[in-house]
Amino acid sequence: MGNHLKLNRPTSGQWSKYLILIILLLGIVFRLVNIDKKVYWIDEAYTSLRISGYTKAEIIQEIDGRQINVKDLQQYQRPNNNKDVGDTIQGLALYEPQHSPLYFVMAHFWAKLFGYSVTVMRSLPALISLLTLPCIYWLCLELFESPLTGWIAIALLCVSPFHVLYAQEARQYSLWTLTTLLSSIALLRAMRLSTLMSWVIYAITVSLNLYSYLLSGLVFIGHGIYVFCIEKFRLSKQVIRYGLASLFGIIAFIPWLRLVIENGIELGDWADKETPLGKLITRWLINLSSVFFDIQIGYSNPLFDVRSGRDLKFSYDHLLIYFDILILLIVGYSIYFLCRNTQQRVWLFILSMIAVVGMFPIGQDLILGGQRSSMARYFIPCYLGIQLAVAYLLAKKINPLNGKTIKQQQLWRLVAITVISGGVLSCAISSEAETWWHKYSNYYTPEEAHIINEANRPLVISSDIMRLVSLSYLLEPNVTLQLIKTKDSPKVFSSFSDVFLYRPSPKLRQKFEEESPYDVKPAHKRKHLWKLVQ
């Protein structure tokens, strides 16, 4: 009987499969649980504005000076019978051409089918994010021909705090992740098969990736460098096929590219703000660590703020800095190990994925000044390459067929479990939060909304329509809203128990201070919310 029990005991391989299955289920849960809990920040409000077909000018024209309720304002976050997908595309083309239209068109039809709630709007990127899991496995098979590496890559992507955060954001970043993986798979497959159909598929993925996000152009620059290096800078048949496929993919994108050139790209005044190099390096490190480990226990403020420049000052008594340094060491060793132990076609592909996309925003900031490289979302292909390198390292180190001693295997299994557990812990903590670092300028909006909601009959006045729209998702139905863009003198608001100014322009605040019977007092520590006091 003892022997019978011994024979039926699960092997280490079976335990590994069970563990991967549990991680996969956790990845699905983390992407779907509490999907509506975090603040619907200004970028997401812009998503809903674009899919509605309305423009800011139309909203301002209709509501400027009027006192309206939350429901009245949010009608501009959903299309009516007079708005269709053409209005969505036109709004993007005129005002935000830097955002390619594919995601917004998908979101428009998704919302028409299922509704316009926060849950529905975020469920589309969450479901798209789930499609990235089999894609990263497929990419590992093309690169490493190793199912184990593929499963570890799935595990890392499943519980990556960074990818889970953006899976729950009503923006195009999950789609960009998916199309980046698909185009990478298509390129490697086309180079391996070298058939007409495989290159046609690659051309299609080039176009899809560009229509997902404009920075995809960097991905294809990396692909081009990779192909030329593999072919030893010769004008070989592979180079010609790659060039033709890329050309056809870019030609399909020319209609939108023309609009980008004509209407220009507007990133906002934050992008060009001069930032010390030391502060930038700290932000790069924080962003990198968020791919694997991201908890904010003990920190009531964001780790950095691109608008105010109020960054958390790290010192040796901050535990977080040690986690960040440890992750940097693991990533650095993973890339070193990859380059030492794989063929050129493998390590060069991953390095081009990391370096080209990573160095572009960093180079811009170092040469031109600014802080574009503070935005982690611009580095998605770079982070995917890093995760592939880490997955390869862990797969090689824990594989018993690679000649490692039992103690070495156990040590690296512990490292793998620690990395994955850090991701699970991070996702579990952030899933319960109302705000997180990736909400940037809306980090404090839940606190501000709570102050407003505590009032009996509050009036909220603002000069920034999209800030007001974002705030409205957290307000109670009894709150009255008013947009003031005109030059009228302030009035006395006797019918309200409390009157707040929310992110007023300097001119609007000055007008209330000088021309109204009220004193203007800060209602929140960051001075985005002010209260009128008689």
DSSP-derived secondary structure for 109-157:
HHHHHH-SSHHHHHHHHHHHHHHHHHHHHHHHHHHH--HHHHHHHHHHH
Query: Which alpha helices (H) appear in 290-343, and where do they start and end?
Result: 319-341
Structure tokens, 289: 């660590």
Radius of gyration of the CA atoms of the chain, in A: 25
Strand-pair category, 519-522 with 529-533: antiparallel
Look up residue 409 and give its DSSP letter: H
* Whole-number pLDDT of residue 509: 93
**Which residues, given as ranges, of the chain have pLDDT below 70?**
1-15, 297-300, 314-317, 403, 487-489
> Under a CB-based contact definition with an 8 Å cutoff, are residues 508 and 463 in contact?
yes
* Whole-number pLDDT of residue 5: 44
Strand, helix or coil for residue 9 = coil
The number of angstroms, rounded, from the C-alpha of 12 to the middle of its chain's C-alpha atoms is 36
Q: How far apart are alpha carbons 321 and 318 in whole angstroms?
A: 6
Sign of dihedral through CA atoms 132, 134, 136, 142? negative
* Whole-number pLDDT of residue 406: 85
